[in-house]
Amino acid sequence: MRSEIAGYKVPRSLWFVDEVKRSPAGKPDYRWAKEQTEARPADDVHAGHVTSGG
């Protein structure tokens, strides 16, 4: 992926979730997403994510 886009745009990690909470306007709720990632125990974070390889 780094050969196609700038390094700062490559995500450090990805989490797969069943659904993403959305605002009334239909946009992703970034505050909810941040709370979800901060609430995960460290073991869950490392066991359930995929690194970008960089």
Burial of 49 (0-12, 13-18, 19+ CB in 10 A): middle
| pLDDT 10s digits, 1-54 | 567 888 888 887 777 889 999 999 999 999 998 888 888 766 555 555 555 555
- Cα separation, 46 vs 26, in Å, equals 30
pLDDT at 26: 95
pLDDT at 2: 60
> What's the whole-model pTM score?
0.49
pLDDT at 25: 96
